[in-house]
Structure 1
Amino acid sequence: MRNAIEFKVYGDYALFTDPLTKLGGEKLTYSVPTYQALKGIVESIYWKPTIMMVIDKVRVLHAIRMEFKGVRPIEYGGGNTLANYTYLKDPCYEVQAHFVFNPHRPEMEYDRNENKHHNILKRSLLAGGRRDIFLGTRECQAYVEPCEFGIEAGFYDNYGDIHLGNMVHGINYPDETGRDQMEVRLWNPVMKDGVIDFIRPEECTQVRTIANMQPKRFNENNVQSADELLAQWEGWGN
């Protein structure tokens, strides 16, 4: 696929919070990562407002296991509350993704250098990402490395279909939709032999508006172009 990367992401724990469990202050993870969580990982590897990252599929390599932990959430108004969080234990995934140019960012047309963005993306992946990688929440530190999707043996190979019910797919932001509002997308995924094929965000039919929001503006005065970034990177290598 054009402008694609394939990588493995893994860590000791993951917390892809089911929003329904936040109401009582005790978080319960989804059994698999959401589109938005994986998109955040790819954007931590490399992100520019010029491009939009698209998650194509994820493959669950390890058995889905959960672990309960007692934690003390930070309460800025004081207090000493104990809460139970349910994490995924020993998560490991293969991810296939690609990028497209953001049609809602005409001010970034000067930076639409497809080949250089792809080269920087691949170099950033080899370096372990340009920002911290985590699985769902910041306390769940993770690591990324290139891989060939589908080669390594996985726990759910030839397992059949697992219906995962209604889940959050992701969040729509104004700079990705052209609408001045933030929205949440829902869908009903099915994991087939350990692989979830994601539908595109615009294909989600269950969309709810959360709040009004204005996109942040970027231009050549506050964003380095891909040409400048690649030249800088090559300069460091000399």
Structure 2
Amino acid sequence: MGYGIKLHVCGDYACFTRPEMKVERVSYDVMTPSAARGLLEAIHWKPAIRWVVGRIHVLNEIRFENVRRNEIENKISTSAIKNAMNGKTATLAQVVTEERQQRATLMLKAPAYLIEAHFDMTAAAGSEDSPEKHYNIFLRRARQGQCFHRPYLGCREFAAHFKLIEPDEEMPVSFYSDKPDKDLGWMLHDIDFMNNMTPKFFRAEMRQGIVRVPPFAEGV
């Protein structure tokens, strides 16, 4: 196991979209491991390291809110971008007013989590890379609030605030610390990028406000 960190994250809203919902956005009850990994990578990531999420503490009560949002029907395709770069098309644009759609979103209100994670060194690590180096870089950036891009909670419009929990700092208490266990059902673990972008899932259960994330190899 690599060097471990604890990061407190929160926001006004979050939406960790269930992939089985094709039209309307419906959030999982809690943050997914892939969303937690993406948030950590927003603070510090290099090809030499791979973040591994171990536990997700659900700090606030799970509350949902239903809203309608404007979205666009399609994205600009990769082929259209390549044609524009090669001079085959004169313009590269998307008229939002012609593709705007209103979709319902069942999102989380006032979520807060504590992420426990570590990183492993990858085959891309060079002689200048070491666990101590990347660990200290992450600590420095997290303490100063630095990030490569603004972390978000599922959707980019739901910005995340983060704070490093120091080793001697008392951890926040979960709302569910004295509540019965809760079966969260099948949850997206992460995407297997080495196997044709295959999604992998695991059976999530919240015990005393903590979701323990199994090793990625154990996902289905």
For normalisation by structure 2, the TM-score amounts to 0.83
Of stretches 153-162 and 9-18 in structure 1, the one that deviates more from structure 2 is 153-162
Whole-Å separation in 2 of the counterparts to 1:79 and 1:35: 32
> Match of 2:133?
116
> Deviations 1:84-114 (Å, cap 9, x if unpaired)?
11110000001111111013x3xx3324312
Shift of 1:2: 4.4
Change (3 A) 1:80 1:48: closer
For normalisation by structure 1, the TM-score amounts to 0.77
Change (3 A) 1:202 1:37: same
> Match of 1:60?
58
Shift of 1:150: 7.0
Shift of 1:183: 1.4
> Match of 1:92?
112
The structure with more strand, counted as a fraction of residues? 2
Task: Choose the corresponding residue for 2:197, options 163, 182, 188.
Answer: 182
Which letter maps to 2:141? S
Of stretches 139-148 and 31-40 in structure 1, the one that deviates more from structure 2 is 139-148
> Match of 1:7?
7
Shift of 1:37: 0.4
Task: Choose the corresponding residue for 1:128, options 145, 151, 155.
Answer: 145
Which letter maps to 2:204? P
> Match of 2:20?
20
Which letter maps to 1:160? P
Shift of 1:55: 0.4
Whole-Å separation in 2 of the counterparts to 1:102 and 1:2: 11
Whole-Å separation in 2 of the counterparts to 1:9 and 1:111: 31
Which letter maps to 1:140? F
Whole-Å separation in 2 of the counterparts to 1:16 and 1:164: 13
Q: Extract unaligned runs of 5+ from structure 1.
A: 207-238
> Deviations 1:27-55 (Å, cap 9, x if unpaired)?
00000111100000111110000000010
| Identity %, equivalent residues | 31
| Secondary structure of the structure 2 residue equivalent to 1:37 | helix
Change (3 A) 1:33 1:94: same
| Secondary structure of the structure 1 residue equivalent to 2:135 | helix
> Match of 2:82?
none
> Match of 2:102?
82
Q: Does the CA-based 8 Å contact 2:18-2:27 persist in structure 1? A: yes
Q: Does the CA-based 8 Å contact 2:2-2:131 persist in structure 1? A: no
Q: How many residues align?
A: 195
| Secondary structure of the structure 2 residue equivalent to 1:42 | helix
Whole-Å separation in 1 of the counterparts to 2:131 and 2:100: 51
Q: Does the CA-based 8 Å contact 1:57-1:96 persist in structure 2? A: yes
> Deviations 1:144-188 (Å, cap 9, x if unpaired)?
1012587322210121210011121111112xxxx5x21110111
Whole-Å separation in 2 of the counterparts to 1:73 and 1:189: 30
Task: Choose the corresponding residue for 1:102, options 113, 117, 122.
Answer: 122
Change (3 A) 1:182 1:150: farther
Change (3 A) 1:129 1:58: farther
> Match of 1:217?
none
Q: Does the CA-based 8 Å contact 1:129-1:144 persist in structure 2? A: no
Establish whether residue 147 from structure 1 lines up as the match of residue 147 from structure 2. no
Q: Does the CA-based 8 Å contact 2:49-2:121 persist in structure 1? A: yes
Change (3 A) 1:202 1:111: farther
Superposed CA RMSD in Å reads: 1.7
Shift of 1:83: 1.1
Whole-Å separation in 2 of the counterparts to 1:51 and 1:151: 26
Whole-Å separation in 1 of the counterparts to 2:170 and 2:26: 29
Which letter maps to 2:36? L
Change (3 A) 1:20 1:128: same
